[in-house]
Every structure is written in structure tokens, then in C-alpha cells.
Chains A and B, each alone.
Chain A
Amino acid sequence: MGPTDLTIAEARDQLQARTLGAVELAEAHLQAMAEARVLNAFVTETPERARADAKAAEARLAKGEARALEGIPLGIKDLFCTKGILTTAGSHILDGFKPPYESTVTQQLWQAGAVMLGKLNMDEFAMGSSNMTSYYGPVRNPWSRAGDNRPLVPGGSSGGSAAAVAARIVMGATATDTGGSIRQPASFTGTVGVKPTYGRCSRWGIVAFASSLDQAGPIARTVKDAAILLGVMAGHDPKDSTSAHAPVPDFEAALARGVRGLRIGIPKEYRIDGMNEAIDAIWRSGIDWLEAAGATTLEVSLPHTKYALPTYYVIAPAEASSNLARYDGVRFGLRVPGKTLDEMYENTRAEGFGKEVRRRIMIGTYVLSAGYYDAYYLRAQRVRQLIARDFTEAYKNVDLILTPTAPTDAFAIGEKMDDPVAMYLNDVFTVPSSLAGLPGISVPCGLSAGGLPLGLQVLGRAFDEETLFAAARVLEDAAGFGARP
């Protein structure tokens, strides 16, 4: 077992006990990164920066001044602005963009002593569930089906983050979730992914997709590691007016709480027709594990579940069409010349945005345009209210909700690409809670018939990530997911 097999918690202890050096740990990960280039998990590798960070961490460790993540090598989703380092959001339109500022979340990680390995590949502007929409090419899932070596997708949009964590190139990674972009790739790669409550982490310096939904969170290999990372990433930020004035609890301490006495809801609307048998079986196991640990499970109803995806595909593109208006070839990124200013905008945006991004901008523009605003956008905002209300009602009777994370295991690169609606269905279990702003975690709980990881999702009340982590830990212990890609 080498240093890249350690969890963040284990490495932290060994670094502080001085039985492992920060430089040694960084070098082991840089070597793993070089050996795993076939996965295409990175857009930008930053080995020089990693070595400098590790040296600085080493010095602090030697002086006994270690901070929460001192010397821990991490990867950063390329949606987070990193000062002076190429930030692309997976798009051609951000060609050459080196932000003059650092996102608040990444700033907090560096201030805690983390080591930066590089920027991780992702679906363009976080729009996708496969990582097939990145301008920098698809990321390959380190897992493959038993007896079949066709390359599989890692899920999306945080596919580079999930693949790098699963392949042990990074100890943990930042990710973002708008409709499931942390949880679905975590399920596809056998990793733990947390989407915190909307407002828990600052969105400042994160390239915006849909501002009322976007939220940063960690992907890691264990529930404990995810708790450690979120503790550093979270917190109020005066630079983001939607960031919550809520104190950051000790998530790591909450892991030991267990689930005794908790009431856990099983939403009947999530039993979709033709559900994958292995997923259904793992869901039933999850119920048994939580009951064995002292929780009570009961059926709950979230009656507007079936309307969540169409609601999301009005609201998210509407917000995206507005947010992405800033990419016009004037202040940064790609410029494609034109005879007039309008022509320059149109040429730049036609060439700079990929197919899925153009499609979503046009849907967003359409649903916001005169004559359609009330019929589409205003109606979707009202349905969103009803979806959020379903959760409020359910949480009167239960403390948590247990569901599968995704309706399938990882699919092959190139599959499901023809029909956008079929692709959108990947997020059927994650989108409703995103619309309601609630926290969710995906924990690897078993394998599909093809030998691929499957996750279970635990959803919680707003700002109650502690109970979420406690239940996730119980599932993790009971599932004993030891499989590796």
C-alpha cells in the first residue's frame, strides 16, 4: 500500500506524526497523475505549484503549526477560479483565461494548508451528466465493466473530480452540484460526494451556471474525508449575498452520532418503473442497515417528484442564459472577429460554446422571452415552490430521506448522446432536492450486475449536514464497500 492509498484522515495523522512527509505525499500523487493521463481527468496540471505548496506544508509540520489540511494534495474542478492559473469551465470560450482572483472556497482550502495538484476536467459550464460535453474531451471512468473494456463515463458534471478521486490521483477534490453534478458522478465512480445546503459554501469566484441552484461541495473516498473537506470549504462569505450566516458545525464530530432513534423516509415516488434490479436491492439493503443501527424507516410521499426535471430544465437554462451573457469576446477568453459588434458577439458565442451549452442558452432565452415568460418561467417557479413544500411536509415526519443516487450505473462513452431528454433523466433522483436547496450525500453501497459502483443518496433538512454525515457513516460501515477500480 502506497501513500496514494491513504485516506485524508490517515494522511493527516501520519503527516502530523512525521511518519510521512508532505513532499513525499505530493510526489506520489504527481506520479499517479502522470501515470493516469489516459483518464483525461485534468485540464491543467500544476506540479510546480504542488511542490511549492508541499514544501511550505513540510515547514509548518516541522514547526508543529499544522492547519486542518496541511500537506493534503487536492484537485480543483475547473469551475473554481484560481488566481493566475488557467480556468476554463470546460469551455473553449474561456480560452487562456487566468483569473486575477481566487474563489473563496479554494482560498479557504489553501489557507488550511492544502496542496494544489491541478484543475480537473468537467462538463462544459457544468452542463452535463457524462463529461462528454467538455471542450477538452471526455473523462474516462477508472472503472470498467467486468469482461468488457469499453471506456465508461465518470458521470457529470464533476466527472474529472470523481474520476481523479476514484483513481487515487488526488486525495479529495472540489466539485459543484446544480442538479446532481456531485452526487451522480460519485455514484458512478464509487466515491462519496456531498452537495451541501444552498448557501453553506460561498459561490464567489465559481463560474456561474444557475445561480439559485449552484453549490460547491467535496468528493472524497470516505464519509469522514468528505466531512473534513466540507468543514474547510463551508462558511459565510460577505462577497456572496446568498451565502448563509450559519456557523459551521464540526462535521467530523457528527460522524459518531449514529442513527439510533432517527426516522428515515423512503419516498414512494422514487420507485420508478423498470428500475435497475441491483439498485432496488441495494436500496432495500440500505433500509435494513439503517434499521439495524436503530433507525425507523417509513414511507413518505413527495407528490411533485415527476415535475422536478422539467421544472429544472426551465429554471436552470433560464438562469444560464442570463449568466452566460457575459461571454461576448470583449473582456476575456475567445474572440472571433466580425464586421460589427453584434456580429463579433454572435461569431464568438457560436464558436466558443459547445452544442449542449448553445442548446440550453437557447431554451433559456426562449422561456424568458416576451410572451412565454409566464407560461414557462413563472409556472416553473411556482412548481418549484410546490416541490420544496413536498420536502417541508415530509420533514415534519422524518429526519432524513433515503433514495438511490442515480437510476443506472456508469454507461459507455457515446451512449445516450442522441436524446437530450434521455440524458437529463440521469438526475431524476438528485434534482428535486437541488430545487429545494437541501443537502444530499452519495455513498457507495454496492456493485451492479456489471461490477460497477452504485451509490445511495441520503437527503437532509436545510443546514442539517451533521445528521446526513451520521447516517452516511452508518451506510458506509454496513456496506463495507471495498471494491476498487
Chain B
Amino acid sequence: MPLDKATVRNVATLARIRVADAELEHLAGELDHVLKWIEQLNEVDVSGVEPMTSVVAMKPTLRQDAVADGGKPEQILANAPEATQGFFVVPKVLE
């Protein structure tokens, strides 16, 4: 089933990327082309195959639950588009 415009709009919303109405059809075509190509994976018999989550066969290392670094609010805020009094500033979330 080819991708419809409503699906593309939904994916764009989930991805937090604004897409103009005029772009939807073109984008649906592009994504559909890539997804159709990906669908050849359906030919592969994967029954009984464990999904691979890591290529490195090693036990995840744990570190001490202790602060290793911190106390640098100026450094953290230095690249912020907008900051005040030690906080990041964003548009109003609550009325």
C-alpha cells in the first residue's frame, strides 16, 4: 500500500519536523520508494533468529553511581539560544 499524505503528516508530527501541505505528496513518493526497497527484507527467513542489538560480545560495564562531573551551569548554558538566571528559556508551556 503506497504511503498516503495523512501517514506522512503523522510521521512528520512524531519527528517534530514541520512539513508544508504542498510538500506532502512529493515526500510520500520519496519515502514510499525507499520503504518499497526495504521491503525486500521480507524475503529473508528470520524464524528463530535473535535480533542483534550489539555487535560487541561484551558485558555492559557499570560505573559507580556517583557524580563524576558537574557544577558548570555557565558552560552548559553557554551555547543556549536563550537563557536567563541559570535556566534555558523556551516559549510558555503552561498558561
Interface residues of A (CB under 8 A from B): 96-98, 100, 198-199, 212, 238, 241-242, 244-245, 304, 306-307, 310-311, 313-314, 321, 325, 328-335, 337-347, 349-350, 353, 358-359, 361-367, 369, 376, 378-386, 388, 419-421, 435-437, 462
Decide if A341 touches B90 in the complex (CB within 8 Å).
Answer: yes
Interface check B1, CB cutoff 8 A: no
* Known interface pairs A310-B41, A388-B55; 11 further A-B residue pairs with C-beta atoms within 8 A, sorted by A's residue number: A98-B78, A244-B56, A310-B40, A321-B15, A333-B79, A344-B90, A362-B11, A369-B14, A382-B50, A382-B51, A385-B51
Residues of chain A with a CB closer than 8 A to B76's CB: 100, 331
Residues of chain A with a CB closer than 8 A to B6's CB: none
Give Cα A339–Cα B95 distance, bound, in whole angstroms: 13
Shortest distance between the CB of B55 and any CB in chain A (Å):
3
Known contacts A361-B17, A385-B50: A330-B40 contact under CB 8 Å: no
CB nearest to A94 among chain B residues = B79
Give Cα A311–Cα B80 distance, bound, in whole angstroms: 37
Interface residues of B (CB under 8 A from A): 7-8, 11-12, 14-19, 27, 30-31, 33-35, 37-38, 40-44, 46, 49-56, 58, 60-61, 63, 72, 75-76, 78-82, 88, 90-91, 93
CB nearest to B48 among chain A residues = A382
Shortest distance between the CB of A435 and any CB in chain B (Å):
8
Decide if A346 touches B79 in the complex (CB within 8 Å).
Answer: no
Give Cα A315–Cα B92 distance, bound, in whole angstroms: 36
Decide if A359 touches B44 in the complex (CB within 8 Å).
Answer: no
Which of A332, A344, A367 is most buried by chain B, counting CB atoms within 10 A of its CB?
Answer: A332
Residues of chain B with a CB closer than 8 A to A346's CB: 16-18
Shortest distance between the CB of A160 and any CB in chain B (Å):
23
Contact residue among B18, B38, B91, B93 (Cβ-Cβ distance under 8 Å from A350): B18
Residues of chain A with a CB closer than 8 A to B82's CB: 335
Decide if A331 touches B88 in the complex (CB within 8 Å).
Answer: yes
27 A-B pairs with CB atoms under 8 Å apart are A100-B79, A198-B56, A241-B61, A242-B54, A242-B56, A244-B56, A306-B40, A307-B43, A310-B38, A314-B38, A332-B81, A341-B91, A341-B93, A342-B16, A349-B17, A353-B17, A359-B31, A361-B17, A362-B17, A367-B38, A379-B46, A380-B41, A381-B51, A383-B46, A385-B52, A386-B44, A435-B55
Shortest distance between the CB of B60 and any CB in chain A (Å):
6
Give Cα A379–Cα B44 distance, bound, in whole angstroms: 9
Q: Interface of chain B, helix or strand or loop or mixed?
A: loop
Decide if A381 touches B41 in the complex (CB within 8 Å).
Answer: no
Give Cα A199–Cα B51 distance, bound, in whole angstroms: 20
Contact residue among A362, A384, A419 (Cβ-Cβ distance under 8 Å from B31): A362
Known contacts A362-B31, A388-B52, A420-B33: A333-B81 contact under CB 8 Å: yes
CB nearest to A336 among chain B residues = B18
Q: Interface of chain A, helix or strand or loop or mixed?
A: helix
Residues of chain A with a CB closer than 8 A to B30's CB: 359, 420
Give Cα A310–Cα B34 distance, bound, in whole angstroms: 9
CB nearest to A304 among chain B residues = B44
A-B contact count (CB 8 A): 160
Give Cα A386–Cα B79 distance, bound, in whole angstroms: 43
Give Cα A358–Cα B54 distance, bound, in whole angstroms: 26
Shortest distance between the CB of B39 and any CB in chain A (Å):
8
Residues of chain B with a CB closer than 8 A to A329's CB: 81
Contact residue among A339, A349, A367 (Cβ-Cβ distance under 8 Å from B16): A349
Decide if B34 touches A100 in the complex (CB within 8 Å).
Answer: no
Give Cα A108–Cα B84 distance, bound, in whole angstroms: 35
Shortest distance between the CB of A373 and any CB in chain B (Å):
11
Give Cα A358–Cα B80 distance, bound, in whole angstroms: 23
Give Cα A245–Cα B50 distance, bound, in whole angstroms: 25
Give Cα A217–Cα B29 distance, bound, in whole angstroms: 36
Give Cα A313–Cα B34 distance, bound, in whole angstroms: 9
Which of A335, A337, A379 is most buried by chain B, counting CB atoms within 10 A of its CB?
Answer: A379
Decide if A362 touches B52 in the complex (CB within 8 Å).
Answer: no
Decide if A98 touches B79 in the complex (CB within 8 Å).
Answer: yes
Decide if A363 touches B31 in the complex (CB within 8 Å).
Answer: yes
CB nearest to B58 among chain A residues = A244
Give Cα A110–Cα B53 distance, bound, in whole angstroms: 33
Give Cα A100–Cα B79 distance, bound, in whole angstroms: 9
Give Cα A52–Cα B29 distance, bound, in whole angstroms: 52
Residues of chain B with a CB closer than 8 A to A436's CB: 55
Residues of chain B with a CB closer than 8 A to A333's CB: 79, 81
Give Cα A325–Cα B15 distance, bound, in whole angstroms: 8
Residues of chain B with a CB closer than 8 A to A311's CB: 41
Give Cα A421–Cα B40 distance, bound, in whole angstroms: 13
Shortest distance between the CB of A470 and any CB in chain B (Å):
23
Give Cα A369–Cα B3 distance, bound, in whole angstroms: 14
Decide if A238 touches B63 in the complex (CB within 8 Å).
Answer: yes
Decide if A310 touches B37 in the complex (CB within 8 Å).
Answer: yes
Give Cα A335–Cα B35 distance, bound, in whole angstroms: 31
Known contacts A241-B60, A341-B90, A437-B56: A363-B34 contact under CB 8 Å: yes
Known contacts A244-B58, A382-B49: A362-B27 contact under CB 8 Å: yes
Give Cα A307–Cα B43 distance, bound, in whole angstroms: 9
CB nearest to B54 among chain A residues = A212
